[in-house]
Amino acid sequence: MSSFSVKNVNQIFGSGTAEVHVLHDVNFEAEPGTLSLIMGPSGSGKSTFLTIAGGLLTPTSGTVEVNGVAYNERSKKKRDALRLDSIGFVLQAYHLLPYLTVADQFKLVDKVKPNGNLSKEELDDVLDTLGIKNLLNKYPGELSGGQQQRVAIARALYPNPAIILADEPTAALDSSRVAVVGDLLKDLAIKHNKAVVVVTHDARLIDSADHLYEMKDGYLTKKEVVKA
Ligand SMILES: Nc1ncnc2c1ncn2[C@@H]1O[C@H](COP(=O)(O)OP(=O)(O)OP(=O)(O)O)[C@@H](O)[C@H]1O
Ligand SMILES: [Mg+2]
């Protein structure tokens, strides 16, 4: 099972007078079987953090390790394979392909990664839980924001990754759906022993969290989880 850690990460965008220091010495760890929540205001660096954590962006300094091995110690090929096999992204922009139906979004995953994906029954269960089973023949453009978001969540879970990184997974959802998604993420962590990391504005998710962090102006600090 994969655990991962972020060590002394700094991210600086731009240079000279246009330089912005977005992340300051960020340290973070996530173990299988836990749900970690990172909360913070807009522009505080949450998406930047998640992009670096998932190996999509190499930080200005610092390292990210999955199972004790840093991304930058792996060849590009090994890094890509690791991302494909072990990391599920639910990104802020939903990244559904506009010319594919919902059903085909999953078939595309099968093409890229033929093995180790959820069985038909398991996928059915996820679609059922998220209330999107009846949308399989629709195109993303025919879905509401919340429906697209739920499809994007299902697609991230489909390859059965050990680590799930979610950026504002509940932004477009009403309260009852927030609870469903919170429970689903918590379930994945506990029953399926995954490391789930969620970046959000949404205080309604705190009830589902094992660990709570605050991101403020690029500084990450650990907080006590106080449940409602
Ligand atoms: N590629 C980039 N080039 C320059 N600046 C960037 C880049 N990406 C992000 N930033 C800046 O980094 C800061 C943090 O952005 P980030 O997207 O991580 O914030 P966030 O916490 O996810 O915000 P939100 O809650 O609105 O999604 C912002 O000031 C943003 O303008
Ligand atoms: Mg963001």
Would you list the domain boundaries of the chain?
Answer: 4-223
Nearest Cα residue to atom 8 of ligand 1: 48
Task: Please state the pTM of the whole predicted model.
Answer: 0.90
Atom of ligand 1 nearest to the CA of 14: 4
Ligand 1, residues 37, 38, 46, 48: which to mutate, most atoms within 8 A of Cβ? 48
For residue 205, the model assigns a pLDDT of 87
Share above pLDDT 90 across residues of the chain, in percent, rounded to a whole number: 56
Task: Read off the pLDDT of residues 132-177 as tens digits, 9 standing for 90 and up.
Answer: 999 999 999 999 888 998 999 899 899 999 999 999 888 888 888 8
45 CB less than 6 Å from ligand 1? yes
CA of 140 relative to ligand 1 center, distance in Å: 26
Above 70 in pLDDT, residue 2?
no
Mean pLDDT of the chain: 90
Ligand 1 pocket, 148 CB below 6 A?
no
The topology (CATH level 3) of 4-223 is: Rossmann fold (3.40.50)
Question: From the CB of 42, is ligand 1 less than 6 Å away?
Answer: yes
pLDDT tens for each residue of 18-75: 999 999 999 999 999 999 999 999 999 999 999 999 988 999 999 999 888 888 888 8
Hey, which of 9, 10, 11, 13 would you mutate to test ligand 1's pocket, going by the most ligand atoms within 8 Å of its Cβ?
13
Quick one: pLDDT at residue 228?
63
Q: Say which residue, 116 or 191, is predicted with more confidence.
A: 116
**Stretch 100-128: mean pLDDT, rounded?**
93
Calculate how far, in angstroms, residue 135's C-alpha sits from the geometric centre of ligand 1: 33
- Near ion ligand 2, which residues have CB within 5 Å? 46-47
Structure confidence at residue 227 as a pLDDT band (50, 70, 90): low
Does pLDDT of 1 surpass 60? no
Name the residue among 169, 170, 18, 16 with its Cα closest to residue 89: 169
| 20 CB within 6 A, ligand 1 | yes
Ligand nearest to the CA of 57: 1
Closest C-alpha to ligand 1, atom 27: 42
Q: Look at residue 27 in the predicted model and tell me its pLDDT.
A: 97
Q: Both tokens of residue 81?
A: 């394979």
On whether the CB atoms of residues 191 and 163 are closer than 8 A, the answer is no
- Is the pLDDT at 94 greater than 90? The verdict is no
| Minimum-distance ligand 1 atom for the alpha carbon of 20 | 5
